[in-house]
Structure 1
Amino acid sequence: MNFLQLNNFNTKLRNLFFLGLSLIVFLSSTSIIAQKSYTIVLDAGHGGKDPGNLGNGFKEKDIALEVALIVGKELEKKDDIKVIYTRDTDVFIDLWKRGDVANAAKADLFVSIHCDSHTTNAYGAGTFVLGLRGNKMNLEIAKRENAVVLLEDNYKERYKGFDPNSAESVIGLSLLQEENLDKSLEIASLIQNNFALKLNRNDRKVKQDNFQVLRETIMPSVLIELGFLTNKYEGKFLNSKIGQKQMGKSIADAIKNYISNLKLNTVANKIADGAGLEKEKEKQNGIEFKVQIASGKNKISTKPYNFKGLEDVEIVELGEYYKYYYGNSANYNEALKSLEVAQQKGYKSAFIVAFKNGEKVSVSEARK
């Protein structure tokens, strides 16, 4: 065997080694993911002696429970999802116990379901995550939902002087789940998009505010306001079986999408870790492939919830425009996989671009 043959043999052997390593990492990663069970806690707001709002004679506690049960039934069809209810009958549950249920179960997600009310003919669905005070209307919603603490035994001791009618108390609620905010915003956006785009409900957007029930949890959490019972037409829709089914299925579909994103990100991270040495070697030639998913004059935060769940989106400013890239890799085949993921997420016009030592070059040149 001459030197050239030996060199080719070593190259093939090295490639075979890394291929085997990647395959082992991938199989072990998917095995771990397959065994992972995701616990979702569904919280039907109010209940028992607390009816919630009674706009147009409809009962918030009943509608919230029916929708929660529909969501749970849809999720339970998946083998890797475990559903826990804070209540599955018409009973009163303290706010702190609702969060306690989720914390004790080490839940992956907490979803609290409510119906809204207002003195005007307001309508539409909104989703909230824990955060600082928003506008005056959001503050009033938070105060109203928090007011249920007054019905609990020993509420003065448990909530340490919390006054649900005080704006200062609402503003002062601490952000115990700050590290989960990104994921809370991601699932909230998925839910809200389903309401607005699939059901054509009036979109009241994703907002941040200080709900006591969210404050008690230590995992990604959202509070959903299905709509306004004080609006005659919306109240009738939410009180109907078809309305409850549509809203419940939209929430369940968003949760399943959220879990799918968690799985994809976990597998991608494990494969990336296993192939790290090979990537570093490939990057020595200064070649990078990226998938361009969007461009425009508006600067958008690269959080996953702004890009349909895609993580590690990169933003580059070029003159008056901003370009958004996904899937930075030195390997063209990996770039193709990133392109496929982006297109599956809805970025149908996404395409691969190439850079050498930071300068844009043609993809064909980079592949040489």
Structure 2
Amino acid sequence: MKASKYRVNTRVQRFFLFPIIFLALILSSFYTKNPENRNDGKFTVVLDAGHGGHDPGNMGNGYLEKQIALNIVLKAGSILEKNPNIKVIYTRKDDTFVDLYERGQIANKANADLFVSVHCDSHTSNAHGAGTFVLGLHANKQNFEIAKKENSVIYLEDNYKSKYADYDINSPESVIGLTIMQEEFLDQSIALAKAIQDNFTKKLKRTDRKVKQAGFIVLHQTVMPSVLVETGFLTNKEEGAYLNSKRGQSEMGTSIAEAILTYKENIRANIADFDTSIIASTPEPEPIEEKKEQPKPEPVAAPKKETVSQKIKDEPIVAKTTEVPAEPKKEAIQIIEEAKGNDQDVAVKKETPPEPQKTAPSVSKETTVAPAEKKSDVVYKVQIMASAKNLPLRPESFNGLNRVAKEPYKGLYRYVYGSTPSLEEAKMLKSNADLKGYTTSYIVAYRNGERIPFKDSLK
């Protein structure tokens, strides 16, 4: 009898003990993420030299990316280590192979304040310049291909199928899930990326390939502000030689270290530049000839005439999405019509309520999308964001936009604005979304209620 009573008491103790332990773990996690709450009080930076060991990285012009990246990282680290308030951790300090998953875990276990991964790029012999990436959706095929090259290293890892079971490097949609955990650090990541790019372009006069977003697995693994730096193209004869030289590696490493110091001081002074609009939204045209001494910024196409379907998805706080075929979501799509007066459609004159025949704003037509789409075969909408949050379909939830639908997709919600069979009207919808603050929204296409690649809608 006593034994039975003891067991009951033990169960009761466990019942109350587990929630307490769980709560303590949560609170301790928030506590340790604050640098000022750590025992050493130091600002912790994890420097990650890409590739290594049996993974050489790209070998443009016979150079080894793994060694160049390591030398740049060691230079940056040597500068940062001189600051007594900074703790530097390396994912590797020699020619060893480290799994992508483990690189992120090193940073997480260290409660790092920053994670910086360094790489070298490859493309055509004319391509040149340095760019810095934050985690997000691929704005265009060029960014997607860069991420694919870096992510392909997972196939060199043991048990990669079990580690990355839900990730397909050939699927842009896979990145949606990756962005959710990192979205809260997007602003800080962009601030660091901008500081790095400023040093590359203003101090070293390198060609600016800008701050961009792409789905790098190594960035997804971290839970702190993180960037991936593509220091230049080894496939470019001049730039490859520069990056392979002691001078080039020293200058690039110094620029990265100084950018980290700038970021640290700006964060301390609360003046960090959290401007998400600096992210490049279009691919850079490849230059015809290279001018290393005085490189010119590569031209960016006007956003209203080109790449309206490729606008980058960089809204902070919410996960982003990209345009890929999706299963029909007719029954799940909801549209709101209330508070029309709050939606001041400055740029979109044709989609105002008085003209329902062009934009089909009425609830009866839009709650089931199929009728409007059957009429014109293809309809266009503007995706303003994607999020794991089920937001109420009210104008105040979307900066005053009053014709927003939500489409459940793989555990997320894609929020789209408007609906029209006319691409020109879709462009005006896009302009209106820009005016409402959704400057990184983009046009998506549907056929018979099913999402299709934008290019297919033009056929």
Counterpart mapping for 1:12-161 below 5 A: 36-161=41-166
Match of 2:262 in 1: 257
Aligned counterpart, 2:410: none
- Number of the residue aligned with 1:217: 222
Aligned to 2:389: none
Q: Secondary structure at the match of 1:118?
A: coil
Q: Which residue of 2 aligns with 1:10?
A: none
8 Å contact 2:190–2:274 — kept in the other structure? Answer: no
Structure 1 equivalent of residue 274 of structure 2: 303
Q: Secondary structure at the match of 1:175?
A: helix
TM-superposed CA distance for 1:134, in Å, is: 1.2
Task: Report the Cα distance in structure 2 between the residues aligned to 1:247 and 1:255, rounded to whole angstroms.
Answer: 13
Which amino acid counterpart does residue 303 of structure 1 have in structure 2? F
1:284-328 residue CA offsets vs partner (Å, 9 max, x unmatched): xxxxxxxxxxxxxxxxxx835789xxxxxxxxxxxxxxxxxxxxx
Aligned residues: 242
SS for the counterpart of 1:173 is helix
- Paired AA for residue 274 in structure 2: K
Q: CA RMSD in A?
A: 2.2
**Residue 199 of structure 1 pairs with residue 204 of structure 2:** yes
Query: How many angstroms does 1:172 deviate by?
Result: 5.1
Superimposed CA distance per residue, residues 39-95 of structure 1 (whole angstroms, 9 cap, x where no aligned partner): 000000000000000000000000000000000000000000000000000000000
Q: Which residue of 2 aligns with 1:359?
A: none
Q: Shift in Å at residue 167 of structure 1? A: 3.6
Among candidates 145, 168, 174, match of residue 163 of structure 1? 168
State the Cα deviation string for residues 187-245 of structure 1 (Å, max 9, x = none).
Answer: 00000000000000000000011100000000000000000000010000000000000
Q: What corresponds to 1:314 in structure 2? A: none
Q: What whole-Å deviation, never above 9, does each CA across 1:326-357 have from its counterpart, x for those lacking one?
A: xxxxxxxxxxxxxxxxxxxxxxxxxxxxxxxx
Instruction: Report which of the two has the higher share of helix.
Output: 1
Cα distance, 1:306–1:144 mapped onto 2, change above 3 Å:
closer
Per-residue CA deviations over 1:109-143 (Å, capped at 9, x if unaligned) read 00000000003410000000001111111000001
Structure 1's unaligned 5+ residue stretches are 1-30, 269-301, 308-368
Tell me if structure 1 keeps the 8 A contact 2:125–2:237.
no
Answering whether residue 185 of structure 2 is matched by residue 180 of structure 1, we say yes
Q: Distance in 2 between matches of 1:155 and 1:40?
A: 27
Which whole-Å CA distance do the structure 2 matches of 1:204 and 1:53 have between them?
Answer: 19
Offset at residue 175 of structure 1 (A)? 2.8
1:227 matched to 2:198: no
1:170 shift after superposition: 4.4
State the AA in 2 paired with 1:70: K
Letter in 2 for 1:197: K
- CA distance in 1 between counterparts of 2:75 and 2:122 reads 22
Give secondary structure in 2 for the equivalent of 1:190.
Answer: helix
Hey, what's the Cα distance between the residues in 1 that align with 2:265 and 2:169?
Answer: 37
Counterpart Cα distance in 1 of 2:104 and 2:85 = 22
CA contact (8 A) 2:107 2:115 kept: yes
Q: Quick one: distance in 1 between partners of 2:37 and 2:174? A: 44
CA contact (8 A) 1:130 1:175 kept: no
Unmatched 5+ stretches in structure 2: 1-35, 279-459
Q: What amino acid does structure 1 have at the position aligned with 2:50? A: G
Structure 1 residues 253-282: Cα deviation after superposition (integer angstroms, max 9, x where no partner) = 0000111112223xx9xxxxxxxxxxxxxx
Displacement, 1:173?
3.2
For residues 63 and 170 of structure 1, what CA distance do their matches in structure 2 show? Answer: 28
Is the Cα contact below 8 Å between 2:144 and 2:172 reproduced in 1? yes
> Whole-Å Cα distance in 2 between the matches of residues 197 and 142 of structure 1?
26
Q: 1:152 to 1:32 in 2, by over 3 A?
A: closer
Question: Which has the bigger relative contact order, CA under 8 A and spacing at least 6?
Answer: 1
CA contact (8 A) 1:180 1:219 kept: yes
In structure 1, C-alpha distance between the alignment counterparts of 2:50 and 2:255, rounded to whole Å: 18
Question: In structure 1, the residue corresponding to 2:46 is in which secondary structure?
Answer: strand
Flag the 1:72–1:305 CA change in 2: closer, same or farther, 3 A. farther
Q: What do residues 159-196 of structure 1 show as CA deviations (whole Å, max 9, x unaligned)?
A: 01423233443455333111110000000000000000
Counterpart residue identity of residue 168, structure 2: D
The residue type paired with residue 110 of structure 1 is F
TM-score, normalised by the number of residues in structure 1: 0.63
Give distance in 2, aligned partners of 1:143 and 1:170.
Answer: 11
Q: Residues 32 and 132 from structure 1, CA distance in 2 versus in 1: closer, same or farther, beyond 3 angstroms? A: closer
- Distance in 2, Cα, partners of 1:257 & 1:38: 13
